[in-house]
Amino acid sequence: MRQYGISFAVVIMILGMFTGHCSRYDERLETEAWEVPVSPADLGYNVVPDWLKLPGSMALGGVSGVAVDSEDHIFIVQRGEAAPPVLCFDMNGRFLFSWNGPMMMRSGKVNVDSRDHVWLTDEGGHCVYELDNRGNVILVLGEKGMPGTDGSHFDSPADVTLNAEGHIFVADGSASGRNRRIVRFDEQGRFMMTWGREGTGPYEFSGLSAVLVNAGGTVLVSDLPTWRVQSFDAYGRLETMWDHIGSVDDMVEDEKGNYYALDGHLGRITKINRKGRIVGFFGGAGDGTGQLSRACCIARLSGGDIVVGHLDGRVQYFSRSAPAQKAEIGAGNALRKIAGGFQFTEGVASDRDGNIYFSDIPASKIYRCSPDGRCELFMQDSRNANGLIVDDKGNVILCESINGGALVAVTPNGGIEVLAEGYRGIPFNSLNDLWMDPRGGIYLTDPRYGPTSNQLNQDGEHVYYLTPDRTRIIRVIGDMTGPNGITGTPDGKTLYVSDQKAGKTYQYDINRDGTLGNRRIFADEGSDGMTLDNKGNVYLTNRNVRVYTAEGELADVIEVPEQTTNVCFGGRNKRTLFITAQTSVYAIRMQVKGVYSN
């Protein structure tokens, strides 16, 4: 192992990096809320994993509507052939019953009125149906298969709702239809009036997605393509127009007059007060648990829990009663941005004093931030370092990635010691991440990314182990397509390794000589960086930070405005989780604490 000194300056103070959320985020809540990446308040909603319990061989197609009756029974309308079109579940996700009729050509949204009658829209069949609580059709509005523009026909009705008098309001004209109007009928289903036309101005629509009559009788209409919600009185007179929320697929109202707007484009549910002010939001883009891409319909139970249906067949249940594992983790606290303006942050690690270190890979720099908020340049030329750890002696050990990279230790006095440069005399591909076991041995992942990903120095992308005496490099995993994030348990008995390119994270037993055995799948997703807490939970980084219990159950999702790359515990008492994400570094206070300095 060769050693050499360094002449570059370390510890150059950088002013102004410790910043909270920019004030422009607060301003944009009133004008362009979709541009605000972090919720101004924690709404307390957490997804309940595996909530829906389908019987037998049933499988849902696209879920077009969800609604709740007076007993908090949840009606789901779906478009697939492997289940009846209308199904009912209790609030615990247990199946109650289903209805096979009416036969709809392309179902839309569903609503339940004060008598627990169920109202269905058939976009493809151009009809609206009223069903009693046994599933019998008692009223049909429109003529099946016959689109039209008069008072007895629809063209792709998207949604239906009722006011306190029992009058019926139909949002007639989804994006696939020709009509752009609200149609009002009396309680007997007799046509009363219509308003609206094609366009992007007041009273105009481009593609209706939802209609809601609030407790005061105001009719709220979502126009999906124009990202607007217009409010009218019962006679079609415009009262307000909101264009700051986002793309609203569906809306519900709570008992205090607040609204919950579902946006399947951004993947979030936004709470809005009666004056249109954004209170907060939750969710996230993606198709994972708790993520809301392709969500199109929403319902709210009497206790405040929320059910969401997705066009990809998912149904998710969000509760304000946090699962036990989330309460232990404590990830409901507010996320804050502590630094930004970098090219690509990675490799976050902490030392025994709670300082954190992170890489800016393209800039070839490493930064250090103290627990009291000071941030400084630690290394001027890191040779595009990626993963980092800090050992008990204060050495910062890093994975260089230039020309295959080397495993390098930066000593507290500024010296550099090269620990490893390759395997069997051949350079590494591009060292990525590392974990040090309790004996001082170091596990290394060696993938290859970017435009030269097919130009390997080694015969594949593998995982290596540097023995504690620093004399040997052992290849311990040779069957992955792209190993990336890596961590292990504090007793040195279990190793977690992500095969990022395969979309899997594996768990291994660690043998006494550092070799591995008993591979099993831990999570059906890969991870960039990862860490553990003192409860044994494993933190994976992808679009957001996803927290798994030691048994491999998803316990929490920590939403981050940017794609996450790595994660570690640091700060005083190791109770702050630090997250590198693209151009920034974020932090969130936790109830659990970290178990490593890396």
Alpha-helical (H) ranges within 175-330 are 324-329
The model's confidence at residue 39, banded by pLDDT at 50, 70 and 90, is confident
Whether the per-residue pLDDT at 532 is higher than 60: the answer is yes
Whether the Cβ atoms of residue 88 and residue 103 lie closer than 8 Å to each other = no
Closest residue by Cα to residue 47 from 297, 328, 282, 266: 282
Whether the Cβ atoms of residue 354 and residue 569 lie closer than 8 Å to each other = no
87 shares a domain with 11: no
77 shares a domain with 12: no
Whether the per-residue pLDDT at 515 is higher than 70: the answer is yes
99 shares a domain with 17: no
The model's confidence at residue 429, banded by pLDDT at 50, 70 and 90, is very high
CA 281 to chain centre: 12
Closest residue by Cα to residue 353 from 398, 408, 412: 412
Cis check: omega of the bond before 451, within 30 degrees of 0 = no
Whether the Cβ atoms of residue 368 and residue 376 lie closer than 8 Å to each other = yes
Across the range 28-42, mean pLDDT stands at 80
What is the dihedral angle through the alpha carbons of 342, 347, 351, 354, rounded to the nearest 10 degrees? Answer: 50
DSSP state letter for 217: S
CA 245 to chain centre: 19
What gap in Å lies between CA 288 and CA 323, rounded to an integer?
18
Q: Give the three-class secondary structure for 501.
A: helix
> Residue 452 is part of which domain span?
3-21+332-589
78 shares a domain with 11: no
Tell me what pLDDT residue 455 has. Answer: 84
Is 481 part of a structural domain of the chain?
Answer: yes
Burial of 374 (0-12, 13-18, 19+ CB in 10 A): middle
Whether the per-residue pLDDT at 49 is higher than 90: the answer is no
3-state secondary structure string, 313-362?
Answer: CCEEEEECCCCHHHHHHCCCCCEEEEECCCCCEEEEEECCCCCEEEEECC
Q: Tell me the pTM.
A: 0.56
Is 305 part of a structural domain of the chain?
Answer: no
DSSP 75-118: EEEE--SSS-SEEEE-TTSBEEEEE--S--SSEEEEEE-TT--E
Tell me what pLDDT residue 450 has. Answer: 60
The model's confidence at residue 335, banded by pLDDT at 50, 70 and 90, is confident
Is 62 part of a structural domain of the chain?
Answer: yes
Residues 6+ apart with CB under 8 A from 134: none
The model's confidence at residue 19, banded by pLDDT at 50, 70 and 90, is very low
Across the range 326-343, mean pLDDT stands at 75
Start-to-end CA span in the chain (Å): 23
Whether the per-residue pLDDT at 370 is higher than 70: the answer is yes
Here the tokens at position 566 are 């790595």
Q: Give the three-class secondary structure for 564.
A: strand
Across the range 377-394, mean pLDDT stands at 94
Whether the per-residue pLDDT at 259 is higher than 70: the answer is yes
CATH number for position 492: 2.120.10.30
The model's confidence at residue 3, banded by pLDDT at 50, 70 and 90, is very low
Per the document, the length of the chain is 598
81 shares a domain with 15: no
Across the range 156-163, mean pLDDT stands at 98
245 shares a domain with 349: no
The number of CA neighbours under 13 Å toward the Cβ of 510 is 24
What gap in Å lies between CA 427 and CA 65, rounded to an integer?
57
Across the range 181-204, mean pLDDT stands at 97
Tell me what pLDDT residue 332 has. Answer: 55
CA angle 270, 276, 277 (to 5 degrees): 70
Top-ranked range on mean pLDDT: pick from 290-299, 317-326, 373-382: 290-299
Burial of 55 (0-12, 13-18, 19+ CB in 10 A): exposed
127 strand-pairing partners? 122
Across the range 383-400, mean pLDDT stands at 95
Is 311 part of a structural domain of the chain?
Answer: no
Across the range 226-238, mean pLDDT stands at 97
Range scoring the smallest mean pLDDT among 69-78, 110-119, 216-225, 553-562: 553-562
CA 327 to chain centre: 19
Across the range 135-153, mean pLDDT stands at 96
What is the dihedral angle through the alpha carbons of 495, 500, 504, 509, rounded to the nearest 10 degrees? Answer: -10
Across the range 377-388, mean pLDDT stands at 94
530 shares a domain with 418: yes
389 shares a domain with 502: yes
What gap in Å lies between CA 127 and CA 55, rounded to an integer?
29
The model's confidence at residue 452, banded by pLDDT at 50, 70 and 90, is low
b/e for 104-119, b at 16 or more Cβ within 10 A?
A: bebbbbbbbbeeebbb
The model's confidence at residue 453, banded by pLDDT at 50, 70 and 90, is low
Whether the per-residue pLDDT at 16 is higher than 80: the answer is no
Boundary residue ending a domain (254, 279, 310): 254
Across the range 204-208, mean pLDDT stands at 96
Tell me what pLDDT residue 10 has. Answer: 36
Is 360 part of a structural domain of the chain?
Answer: yes
As for how many domains the chain has, the answer is 2
Residue range 552-592, pLDDT digits in tens: 988 888 989 999 999 999 988 888 999 999 999 999 988 88
Boundary residue ending a domain (212, 239, 254): 254
Residues 6+ apart with CB under 8 A from 224: 175, 206, 207, 208, 209, 247, 248, 249
60 shares a domain with 9: no
Whether the Cβ atoms of residue 174 and residue 123 lie closer than 8 Å to each other = yes
3-state secondary structure string, 40-67?
Answer: CCCCCCEECCCCCECCCCCCCCCEEEEE
Helices and strands (H, E) in the chain, number of each type: 2, 54
Is 267 part of a structural domain of the chain?
Answer: no
Tell me what pLDDT residue 595 has. Answer: 85
Range scoring the smallest mean pLDDT among 230-244, 291-305, 581-595: 581-595
Is 31 part of a structural domain of the chain?
Answer: no
Whether the Cβ atoms of residue 361 and residue 343 lie closer than 8 Å to each other = yes
Across the range 117-140, mean pLDDT stands at 96
Whether the per-residue pLDDT at 105 is higher than 50: the answer is yes
What gap in Å lies between CA 219 and CA 210, rounded to an integer?
10
118 shares a domain with 10: no
- The DSSP H or E segment spanning 28 is helix 23-28
3-state secondary structure string, 245-257?
Answer: CCCCCEEEECCCC
The model's confidence at residue 484, banded by pLDDT at 50, 70 and 90, is very high
The model's confidence at residue 451, banded by pLDDT at 50, 70 and 90, is low
Across the range 291-312, mean pLDDT stands at 95
Across the range 3-8, mean pLDDT stands at 40
Neighbours of 325 (CB within 10 A): 18
pLDDT mean across residues, the chain? 90
What gap in Å lies between CA 322 and CA 145, rounded to an integer?
46
The model's confidence at residue 284, banded by pLDDT at 50, 70 and 90, is confident
Whether the per-residue pLDDT at 136 is higher than 70: the answer is yes
Whether the per-residue pLDDT at 4 is higher than 60: the answer is no
Is 325 part of a structural domain of the chain?
Answer: no
CA angle 189, 190, 196 (to 5 degrees): 95
Q: Give the three-class secondary structure for 17.
A: coil
Tell me what pLDDT residue 38 has. Answer: 73
The model's confidence at residue 71, banded by pLDDT at 50, 70 and 90, is very high
DSSP state letter for 484: E
Whether the per-residue pLDDT at 130 is higher than 60: the answer is yes
The model's confidence at residue 33, banded by pLDDT at 50, 70 and 90, is confident
220 shares a domain with 337: no
Whether the per-residue pLDDT at 17 is higher than 60: the answer is no
Boundary residue ending a domain (198, 233, 254): 254
490 shares a domain with 392: yes
Across the range 360-388, mean pLDDT stands at 91
Higher pLDDT, 333 or 167: 167
